[in-house]
Amino acid sequence: MKATSKKWSAAALLAVATLGTRAAFAQTEIGAEYRWLTFLVFAVVIAITMFVTYVAAKRVRSASDFYTAGGGVSGFQNGWAIAGDYLSAASFLGIAGLISLYGYDGFMYSVGFLVAYITVLLLIAEPCRNIGRYTLSDILAYRNDPRKTRIVGALSVFTVSTFYLTAQMVGGGVLVKTLLGINYETSVACVGVLMLSYVLFGGMVATTWVQIIKAVLLVSASLVIVALVWTPYGFSLPAFLQDVVSDPRVQARVAVLLGDPAKSMSAAELGQRFLEPGLYLKAPIDQISLGLALVFGTAGLPHILMRFFTVRSALQARRSVVWAMVIIGGFYLLTLFLGFGAAKLVGPADIAAVDAGGNMAAPLLAQFIGGGPNAFFGNFMLAFVSAVAFATIVAVVAGLVLASASALAHDLYVGVWRAGKTVTPQGQVKAARVATIIVGAMAIGIGIAAKGQNAAVLVGLAFAVAASANFPCVLLTLHWKRCNTGGIVAGMLIGTIAAVGLTLISPNLTYPKAVKAAAHKVLDAAPAKRAAASEALASGDAATVGKAKKDLATLDKAVAKANADLAKWANDETSFMGLEKPLFELKNPGLISIPLGFLGVIFGSLLMRDRRAEEMWNEVYARQNTSLVVSKSVAH
Amino acid sequence: MAVPEAVDWDALIRDPRFQSLHRRKSVFLWGLMALSIAYYFLLPIGAAYFQDLFKIRVWGVINVGLLFALSQFVVAWVIALVYSRKASRDFDVMAAELSAEFGSPGAQARAGVER
């Protein structure tokens, strides 16, 4: 550790000395001479997961093995698998990136993602284990009309999973493209084929182990990076943050974010501002709406709920959430160091230059920590973190595809289409595998078609639908006696339509008029800025000239982008929905759509009385509280 | 979906021990839930409307806002720990007792007599 930290300090000095040339490496992902190393690390990670799949494949004989690993996963293992399922590329790369670019506000996301698990722990996990078998719709169908609830349940599972899946595919494609230089379409196909092979052959057994391996790799890689970042400060938090806020590049970043008000602030004040809220989330009500969607959405994510069917009992389900909270919370604490470390060592401007959303902050930090782009260890670290990010995406996608495939095969095929007829165990496994191929092929197709979409918006939408449709339905069918088929159908439809509809008329879409106005503003301001920079160039002072050169380069980029925007939207005046400006001001619909989903379930249930649902209440109520006679998945 | 069984659910939920279990569990669960939601939403609300408070520096450059965000982790973990201890010490024991009684064939007969 000591030797590495010395090496690190030397590298830091070197990096500062060559500040001017550093922007260049940022563009070239991994140098050609080290590309073999990257492929080697990727190959090792893939080989391990393939071996696990090979072993797992022998154990998958029944539908229960395929969907829930036979219910034989322990609470501790399931905790790691939940962490593996949940810590998607969006949270690993995205949150570290947000912190590195916006400071405090990025960290607020971490908190929401962890607190979400309290809802899962207290209200959802154990009753789900006691009532359900393979899918979310099993819970809904338990005391309601199985046909109707399975159809709406499956539709909602598809909606949530597809948005989430698309986000992961887009993120994965961009990541592999940036790191390895493989084109986007091939990258997406690679992610898809690899994921398909895990799910198809190894079912939930392999998927669980891939998620566990990935979570262990992710946490270990982060621990190593954080140790290297933090050691020079003797593991003192104030000393580390003091150094972050004293960094001129961090202060410059805050000045850019604040605009005019920054002019009257001192350098120290600008740095300190990085640790205060409001640099990213400017509308308070938006933040609260997002918080609602995060906290209640997790409890409605089908691939997370499905994980509770893989354990033996309610006790194990509870243990798995507690372990997941320890791992997920611990990881999000590390993002504090990953994000602020990247801001201090790599610099916000260089991070944003590689990816405007900051998604490359953690990989770039890993490379820097290892000694930079020219050192073997630096490239090894970059390759390792990239391989972990790749494994992350594949593991999350595998979980999502399994959830969708189970909705298709178990709910729609076995539960609705072949309702009343017996489907042999072999037939069920076959249906599950056919459904996996269908969903997997769709995932690859959608991933390629969605090129260029904003991954963060898609994840937000997935959480919004899960919180507005799935969460009210699952919660109320478990905890409210009067809940029935009418309520489930109304809640699912209203929640989904409200969440998707409000997003379609929200500021998340591109509004050509606003884009063009912004582009014109940039172009109008350009000549004056150029004149100021030319003047500075002539001054002769080395520091001023250096800054002016940088300013000019930034200006050229902004002008090029403004021109490209103008050309791209030349013929459009309205958004995809035909709107000139957003009708609904919130970026996340949760604040409106979650209450609408709940109202849907309540009024639907009250308007359409169902005697059977109320008669079966006693059973649901007793069963979820006593775990008496848990489903057959345990009793082989 | 339901596994064929002969548990008398109606008798089970009329059992005073079940009612006591459910009452205690509900109060505990929904109380913790309300507490955790309230504590969490203080963060976005504070970040939006009480920025002057969040900006106060308490430990070097570390301010109230950062400490409060870190405290969310501790509170989440403590809630998880408190619940899982309570559940395995109290709720599980009570539920196991009821399950053992109502899950066995003899239990149904006894429950029938008591009625």
B102 close contact with A: CB closer than 8 A: yes
Contact A626 B47 (CB under 8 A): no
| Cα separation values, A101 from A89, A244, A274, A281, Å | 17, 12, 9, 12
- Percent over 70 (pLDDT), chain B: 83
pLDDT in tens, A192-224: 888 888 888 888 888 899 899 999 999 999 999
| Closest CA of chain A from B68, distance in Å | 10
Cα–Cα distance measured from residue A58 to residue A56, given in angstroms and rounded to the nearest whole number: 5
Cα–Cα distance measured from residue A540 to residue A583, given in angstroms and rounded to the nearest whole number: 52
| Closest CA of chain A from B110, distance in Å | 17
Confidence at residue A603, expressed as pLDDT on a 0 to 100 scale = 93
Neighbours of A329 (CB within 10 A): 23
Complex prediction ipTM: 0.84
pLDDT in tens, A168-198: 888 888 777 777 778 888 888 888 888 888 8
Structure confidence at residue A76 as a pLDDT band (50, 70, 90): very high
Contact B72 A619 (CB under 8 A): no
Confidence at residue A636, expressed as pLDDT on a 0 to 100 scale = 33
User: CA nearest B48 in A: which residue?
Assistant: A284
Give A-chain residues touching B79 at CB under 8 angstroms.
118
Cα–Cα distance measured from residue A315 to residue A311, given in angstroms and rounded to the nearest whole number: 9
Confidence at residue A407, expressed as pLDDT on a 0 to 100 scale = 87
Confidence at residue A628, expressed as pLDDT on a 0 to 100 scale = 67
Which two tokens mark A514? Answer: 């606003």
Cα–Cα distance measured from residue A323 to residue A320, given in angstroms and rounded to the nearest whole number: 5
pLDDT in tens, A306-332: 899 999 888 889 999 999 999 999 999
Beta-carbon contacts of residue A541 (< 8 Å; ≥ 6 apart): none
B56 close contact with A: CB closer than 8 A: no
Confidence at residue A11, expressed as pLDDT on a 0 to 100 scale = 38
CA A225 and chain centroid, separation = 21
More confident residue, B11 or A226: A226
B47 close contact with A: CB closer than 8 A: yes
Of A17-31, A61-75, A395-409, A494-508, which range is least confident? Answer: A17-31
Which of B45, B51, B72 should one mutate to test binding to chain A, selecting the residue with the greatest count of A CBs within 10 A? Answer: B72
Which of A120, A122, A279 should one mutate to test binding to chain B, selecting the residue with the greatest count of B CBs within 10 A? Answer: A122
| Closest CA of chain A from B58, distance in Å | 10
Domain A33-509+582-634 -> CATH class: mainly alpha
Q: Tell me which range, A275-289, A393-407, A462-476, is most confidently predicted by mean pLDDT.
A: A462-476
| Closest CA of chain A from B76, distance in Å | 6
Instruction: Establish how many alpha carbons lie within 13 A of residue A398's alpha carbon, considering only the half-sphere containing its beta carbon.
Output: 38
pLDDT in tens, A558-572: 788 888 888 888 877
